[in-house]
């Protein structure tokens, strides 16, 4: 049985659907209860089994109730995907000097402390069942500096170390933990936020000439949760179309045979980064 947080939409929803399609029972947890219900309805339509729960992972009591309900409904917890994130705060997540400390505190409360709370609830239940697997949803922004998103990036970088610590401390109990770091993944939320020029700008820095899809990330998460990944733990796996794999001048065309549109470099230099 799997618990997936932030599973009402985007990557989390894709992960919940992928797990259900592999035959797993899924608890779909999201702060948006109606979105969680819609996801479970889609799973049910495909002959899967899921339970929707509206909750906030920043609330310790709500997290405890989530796992108690999951255990009572499905008999135990074997898998956990910590995907929930305070994305609504990112428009206010500015540079260090311009950052509202309330944004920092709220981002850490959800992204980092919320992930920790879920892990603390899941680990004893997994130990009781002989082991389990956890995937924490990090980000490429936790692996490289940016001109904004200070709180978000810091929370995701800390999540990478949390994942390594968990893998180290509970590997003897047959619990695996890995972090997945997506790059440009075109969710509905991101599609509404990025105009066409910004999409082109970001895509120029990828080695693969398309944007990522939530299903791409879900396929990796499903693999890491499966027995096929039984010897993989403590890793941070990027799924970014090669965005972080190349020298900085790649997008200028000097290190690629791929043709670059004339004038695109100058336009991109003037564009804000997400």
Q: Tens digits of per-residue pLDDT, 204-229?
A: 889 998 889 999 999 999 999 999 99
As a whole-number percent, the residues of the chain with pLDDT over 70 amount to 92
The DSSP secondary structure of 28-72, one letter per residue, reads: EEESSHHHHHHHHHHHHHTT--EEEEE--TT-HHHHHHHHHHHHH
Mean of pLDDT over the chain: 92
Q: Is 170 tagged catalytic?
A: no
- Given strand 50-54, what is the order of strands in its sheet? 50-54, 26-30, 2-5, 79-82, 132-137, 175-182, 236-239
- Closest among 201, 190, 187 to 90, alpha carbons compared: 190
Nearest to 268 by CA among 206, 208, 200: 200
Mean pLDDT score, 86-91? 93
Span 158-169, pLDDT tens digits: 999 999 999 999
Question: Would you list the domain boundaries of the chain?
Answer: 2-253
Q: Of the residues 67, 74, 104, 152, which is catalytic? A: 152
Confidence check: pLDDT of 262 > 50: no
pLDDT at 151: 98
Instruction: Of 144, 142, 246, 148, give the one whose Cα is nearest residue 204.
Output: 246
The answer on pLDDT for 269 being more than 60 is no
* Six token digits for residue 96: 């260090």
Query: How many CA atoms does the CB half-sphere of 74 hold within 13 Å?
Result: 22
Please determine, for residue 261, whether its predicted confidence score (pLDDT) is greater than 60: no
Residue 204: the pLDDT is: 87
Backbone φ, ψ for residue 144 (5° rounding): -150, 155
Residue 39 exposed, middle or buried by CB count within 10 Å (0-12, 13-18, 19+): buried
In the numeric block, the tokens 């000439």 are attached to 209
Give the pLDDT confidence of 130-146 residue by residue, as tens digits.
999 999 999 999 999 99
The fraction of the chain above a pLDDT of 90, given in percent, is 82
Could you tell me which residues come within 8 angstroms of residue 23 by beta carbon, excluding any fewer than 6 positions away? none
Strands 26-30 and 132-137: unpaired
Whole-number pLDDT of residue 195 = 81
pLDDT band at 258 (very low <50, low <70, confident <90, very high): low
Higher-pLDDT residue of 134, 201: 134
Judged against a pLDDT cut of 90, whether residue 257 lies above it is answered with no
Name residue 180's beta-bridge partners: 137, 237
Going through 138-213 in order, the beta strands assigned E by DSSP cover: 175-182
The model's pLDDT over 52-68, given as tens digits with 9 standing for 90+, comes to 999 999 999 999 999 99
pLDDT category, 256, cuts 50, 70, 90? low
Cα distances (angstroms) measured from residue 1 to each of 24, 25, 56, 180, 223? 6, 5, 20, 20, 15
- Looking at domain 2-253, its CATH architecture is 3-Layer(aba) Sandwich (3.40)
Enter the tokens of residue 45. Answer: 């339509």
């Amino acid at each position: 049985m799997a618990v997936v947080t932030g599973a009402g939409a985007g990557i989390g929803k894709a992960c919940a659907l992928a797990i259900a399609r592999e035959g797993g029972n899924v608890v779909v947890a999201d702060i948006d209860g109606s979105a969680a219900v819609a996801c479970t309805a889609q799973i049910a339509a495909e002959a899967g089994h899921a339970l929707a729960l509206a909750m906030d992972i920043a609330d310790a009591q709500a997290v405890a109730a989530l796992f108690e309900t999951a255990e009572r409904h499905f008999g135990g917890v074997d898998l956990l995907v910590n995907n929930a994130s305070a994305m609504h705060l990112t428009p206010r997540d500015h540079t260090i000097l311009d950052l509202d400390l309330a944004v920092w505190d709220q981002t850490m409360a959800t992204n980092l402390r919320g992930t920790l709370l879920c892990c603390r609830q899941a680990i004893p239940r997994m130990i009781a069942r002989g082991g389990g697997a956890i995937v924490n949803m990090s980000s490429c922004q936790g692996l490289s500096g940016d001109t904004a998103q200070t709180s978000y990036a810091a929370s995701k970088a800390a999540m990478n170390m949390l994942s390594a610590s968990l893998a180290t401390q509970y590997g003897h109990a047959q619990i695996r933990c890995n972090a997945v770091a997506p790059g440009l993944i075109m969710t509905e939320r991101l599609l509404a936020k990025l105009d066409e020029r910004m999409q082109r700008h970001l895509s120029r820095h990828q080695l693969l000439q398309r944007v990522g899809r939530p299903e791409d990330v879900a396929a990796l998460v499903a693999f890491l949760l499966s027995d096929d990944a039984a010897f993989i733990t403590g890793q941070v796996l990027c799924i970014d179309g090669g965005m972080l794999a190349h020298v900085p001048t790649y997008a200028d065309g000097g290190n690629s045979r791929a043709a670059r549109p004339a004038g695109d470099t100058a336009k991109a230099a003037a564009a804000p980064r997400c």
